[in-house]
């Protein structure tokens, strides 16, 4: 059993390791980026990566407080689904109006890797290998479509 401080330390160490691993990888503009804290530059649209006790996930989260706006933005992503899947080389799960860990209603497009544990450093290579190509692909996708979302 881990204390809260130990859990926090292990998770922090994982994200530092992931950041160091990704540091030499440029974004689609050829610039350095802070991959673990990727900024989309568009309000209420986030690229989220999670590493937990039973899974790792990556996704696009829509956090607009206006649920109709959330649906509209998710629909806009739907129009770009072929481009997204072309960049990702896989299809992800689309969820409209689900509750996040803070009790807020969000919508998301995500991919989950089950059966890994961030608390086990032996799983870190699997988690990193899962997250790395997907965040790079999301960056490439976002480079193509971001202007269409800047007015939301």
Q: 16-72: per-residue pLDDT in tens? A: 999 999 999 999 999 999 999 999 999 999 999 999 999 999 999 999 999 999 999
For residue 88, which of 149, 28, 24, 140 has the smallest C-alpha distance? 140
- Both structure tokens of 63: 């956090």
Q: How far is CA 43 from CA 73, 100, 123, in A?
A: 12, 18, 33
Q: What is the mean pLDDT of residues 125-150?
A: 97
- pTM of the model as a whole: 0.94
Question: Could you state, in order of their start, the residue ranges of all structural domains in the chain?
Answer: 4-149
């Amino acid at each position: 059993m881990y204390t809260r401080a130990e859990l926090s330390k292990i998770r922090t160490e994982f994200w530092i390791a992931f950041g160091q691993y990704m540091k030499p990888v440029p974004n689609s503009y050829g610039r350095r980026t802070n991959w673990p804290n990727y900024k989309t530059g568009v309000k209420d649209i986030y690229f989220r990566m999670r590493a937990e006790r039973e899974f790792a996930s990556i996704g696009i989260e829509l956090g607009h407080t206006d649920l109709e706006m959330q649906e509209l933005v998710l629909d806009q992503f739907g129009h770009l689904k072929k481009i997204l899947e072309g960049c990702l080389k896989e299809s992800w799960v689309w969820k409209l109006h689900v509750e996040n860990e803070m009790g807020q209603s969000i919508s998301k497009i995500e991919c989950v890797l089950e059966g890994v544990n961030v608390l086990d450093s032996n799983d870190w290579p699997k988690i990193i290998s899962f997250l790395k190509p997907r965040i790079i692909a999301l960056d490439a996708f976002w480079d193509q479509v971001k202007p269409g979302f800047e007015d939301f």
